[in-house]
């Protein structure tokens, strides 16, 4: 936690080593993190086993080693205070995002930078939104989020804030390549495919599609190009569930869930999309409350 704090992590990024890590290669378990090293050594020696030590744990050239060897008091009060602060920040971020942002099932977000503000809560909120739209495992640091907020445009963490600061979309250069369109597959770490899938298709980015522009006139072209689509073998779009193209009936058996990490944000089906695409998001008088 100290190491991350010194590197400028947000409060949400201040965490110790995870006791469980789910990776593609293995399930990593660390059941003894809460046991003091001295007790572990004594237990090994009492059982006749020589403990193995990582030499870098005593190497003062590493910052983590210097922090570990420095005198410290009881960490529990500090951890409790951190948890309370994190809860307050989470509540503030949720309130600010509800006021100044709208997240769309197309994987993009609409922003009102004036309502978002420029204080620490605004920077935290923007960082959280960047992680969702950019499919990042962790939110960017405070320094980077502050610079993007001040500039009002630019790319960060796989997301792109368009000129004018109204739209946050997926960065085109960071999009994942197409994958075989099989039920349950996740593409670009953001969209999960469900339902009956026609054979021989791949799931990937729609790309430039000027002839489909009229189906989502309120979305910027960059957001439209990053939409997930089922592609034919030659790369041309065959089905675009978010746009109900080529017809609602053709997309009726499919569903694409916009996900972020382990959270399912919005389920989308061929028949469900009219609730999301009906109105211009900037016009509060015509806001679609079902969305």
3-state secondary structure 174-213: HCCCCEECCCCCEECCCEEEEECCCCCCEEEECCCCHHHH
Per residue in 152-183, pLDDT (tens digit) is: 999 999 999 999 889 999 999 999 999 999 99
Q: Please tell me the predicted confidence (pLDDT) of residue 253.
A: 86
**56 band by pLDDT with thresholds 50, 70 and 90:** confident
Alpha-carbon gap, residue 207 to 204, rounded angstroms = 9
Alpha-carbon gap, residue 150 to 148, rounded angstroms = 5
**30 band by pLDDT with thresholds 50, 70 and 90:** confident
**112 band by pLDDT with thresholds 50, 70 and 90:** very high
**290 band by pLDDT with thresholds 50, 70 and 90:** very low
Torsion sign across C-alpha atoms 268, 194, 197, 219? positive
Averaged confidence pLDDT in the chain:
81
Q: Which residues pair with 161 in a beta bridge?
A: 154, 168
- Is the entire prediction scored with pTM above 0.95? no
Other C-beta atoms lying within 10 Å of the C-beta of residue 270 = 24
Torsion sign across C-alpha atoms 136, 141, 143, 145? positive
**67 band by pLDDT with thresholds 50, 70 and 90:** confident
The side-by-side arrangement of strands in the sheet containing 101-103 is: 101-103, 109-111, 167-170, 159-161, 154-156
Rounded to 5 degrees, what are φ and ψ at 158? 85, 5
Alpha-carbon gap, residue 219 to 209, rounded angstroms = 13
Where exactly are the structural domains of the chain?
A: 2-69, 76-170, 178-286
Per residue in 234-268, pLDDT (tens digit) is: 999 999 999 989 998 898 888 888 886 545 555 55
More reliable by pLDDT, 74 or 129: 129
The length of the chain, given as a count of residues: 291
């Amino acid at each position: 936690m100290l190491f991350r704090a010194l590197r400028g992590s947000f409060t949400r990024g201040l965490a110790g080593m995870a006791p469980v890590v789910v990776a593609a290669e293995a399930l990593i378990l660390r059941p003894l993190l809460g046991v003091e090293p001295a007790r572990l050594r004594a237990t090994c020696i009492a059982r006749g086993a020589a403990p193995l030590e990582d030499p870098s744990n005593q190497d003062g050239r590493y910052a983590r080693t210097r922090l570990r060897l420095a005198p410290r008091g009881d960490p529990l009060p500090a951890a409790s205070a951190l948890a309370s602060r994190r809860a307050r920040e989470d509540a503030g971020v949720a309130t600010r995002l509800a006021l100044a942002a709208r997240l769309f099932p197309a994987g993009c977000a609409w922003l009102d930078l004036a309502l978002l503000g420029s204080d620490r809560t605004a920077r935290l909120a923007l960082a959280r939104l960047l992680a969702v739209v950019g499919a990042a495992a962790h939110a960017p640091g405070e320094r980077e989020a502050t610079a993007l907020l001040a500039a009002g445009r630019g790319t960060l963490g796989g997301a792109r804030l368009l000129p004018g600061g109204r739209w946050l979309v997926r960065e085109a250069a960071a999009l994942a390549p197409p994958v075989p369109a099989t039920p349950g597959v996740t593409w670009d770490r953001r969209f999960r495919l469900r339902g009956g899938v026609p054979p021989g298709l791949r799931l990937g980015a729609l790309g430039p599609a000027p002839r489909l522009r009229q189906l989502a006139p309120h979305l910027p072209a960059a957001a439209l190009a990053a939409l997930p689509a089922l592609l034919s073998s030659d790369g041309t779009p065959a089905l675009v569930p978010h746009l109900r193209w080529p017809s609602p009936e053709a997309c009726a058996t499919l569903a694409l869930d916009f996900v972020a990490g382990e959270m399912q944000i919005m389920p989308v089906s061929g028949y469900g999309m009219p609730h999301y695409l009906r109105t211009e998001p900037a016009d509060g008088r015509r806001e679609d409350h079902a969305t």
